A and B are shown apart, each in its own frame.
Chain A
Amino acid sequence: MPELPKKKVGLIACSGEEIPEGTITRLAVRQVLESLRPEQTVTICLPLFLAGGEGDRAFARFHPTITVDGCAKRCAARSTEMYSGKPAVSMVVGDSVPANSAGLGSARRLSATGMQVVREIADQIARHVDRLLDLKWDRRSGQPLASSLPQEESRTRQAACSCGFGIPVQTLQVAGREVTLIALPLIFAQFREAGKLPSDSTKTELMQAVKICNPVPSEEEAAYAQAIMQEYAAFCRGSN
């Protein structure tokens, strides 16, 4: 079976602009993306669940997701669950700081205390990332142990933002109705690259890969398989 799209942990900050805790969520997530776990994490702006497309809404179904909220309204966690998928971890800054947030500074400019909380929250997020990816670290080198790294290439990259390039999706006709499957274009490309031509054995593997990212009702599995194989055959003809 080919490697599926890289497994990364999705981070979603509430980014609440009116309270310092909202700023803490944003800066803590940036710290994880930029320096603590740049290779293992990706983010998306929360409003894209409403303003974006199906690919954006697939975010939490595709990545195990950590939401970071500034207050008990938990906008990030609840919106993510409502529009995308249940977060693997839901954090609230208020759970980690004293009830009185006066010492944190303003939403626009955090105080030294506020910045200390940013670091603490960022560390907590990083620990959750490690747990979700089952990542272990070499304490001497400060690098992840190779054996615990997710199966993906390691390359220099900037802190990843999913804005503007949500998870690719493809819509098919299955048993007379439209069904949108997330990551299907990526799966097709990887199968084609691996030289797997449309066949019965490829069909079985394709269905296994599709089912990792998409729910496939067991009573409709044959119809899904037929539609997917037709699309894959067309994809292979088109890429020749």
Chain B
Amino acid sequence: MKEKVLIVPCSGIGKSLGSVAREGAYVVTEELCPGRTQLMPLALLVLGDKETQIELSSAGAIAIDGCVRACAAKVVEGAGGRVAHGLQVLDVCRRHPDLKPSGISELDESGHKLAHALAEEVKELVDNMRGEVSHA
């Protein structure tokens, strides 16, 4: 059985793009790739939780960051994990200039659309990492 791909979203609390990263991660792990992906909370890695570090060392991770400080990618690498792909929500934003997300606790419609666009990009990466052909 193939290892699940770890999805590590930024745990941003101060900006809409952090919420988009988190919502996108939920869309991937719950709707688009359930059973093939696993959500990994960043807080456990910050703490240095051993169990989480072992999980991290056995699978590739996709880090989704909400801002240029790239906490998710940096913390995964710092915990000994392998960032197979690091995504910036800002880059997804640039590819969808019509979507201008707002809201943090509750994303607006634009934010949810952007989260789905992000999730589709992540799904393609997951397919590639697992050697599965993506039929668009």
Contacts and interface: CB of A to CB of B under 8 A. Distances in A.
Interface string A14-46: 111110001000110111001000000001111
Interface residues of B, number: 33
A164 interface: yes
A163 B105 contact: no
Interface in A136-193: 159-164
A75 B43 contact: yes
A52 interface: yes
Interface stretch (B6-14, B82-90, B116-124): B6-14
A223 interface: no
B14 A161 contact: yes
A164 B67 contact: yes
A131 interface: no
B43 A43 contact: no
B41 A13 contact: no
Contacts of B1: none
B32 interface: no
B105 A30 contact: yes
A75 B13 CA distance: 16
Contacts of B71: 45, 47-48, 50-52
Interface string B11-42: 11111001000110110001000000001111
A79 interface: yes
A237 interface: no
Given A17-B9, A17-B41, A75-B43, A51 B14 contact: no
Contacts of B26: 17, 107-108
A76 B41 CA distance: 12
Given A15-B13, A30-B105, A75-B46, A51 B41 contact: no
A29 B18 CA distance: 15
A161 B75 contact: no
Interface in A85-113: 107-108
Given A45-B71, A48-B71, A163 B47 contact: no
B105 A34 contact: yes
Interface in A48-86: 48-52, 73, 75-76, 78-79, 82
Contact of B10 (A29, A45, A159): A45
22 contacts: A14-B43, A15-B42, A17-B25, A18-B40, A22-B41, A43-B13, A46-B11, A46-B46, A47-B45, A73-B47, A73-B49, A75-B47, A75-B49, A78-B47, A79-B46, A79-B47, A82-B47, A107-B26, A159-B104, A161-B15, A163-B15, A163-B67
Interface of B: 9-15, 18, 22-23, 25-26, 30, 39-47, 49, 67, 69-72, 74-75, 78, 104-105
Given A52-B69, A107-B26, A163-B14, 20 more contacts: A16-B44, A17-B26, A31-B105, A45-B10, A45-B12, A45-B13, A46-B43, A50-B46, A51-B69, A51-B70, A51-B75, A51-B78, A73-B44, A73-B49, A79-B43, A108-B23, A159-B104, A161-B15, A163-B69, A164-B69
Interface of A: 13-18, 22, 26-27, 29-31, 34, 43-52, 73, 75-76, 78-79, 82, 107-108, 159-164
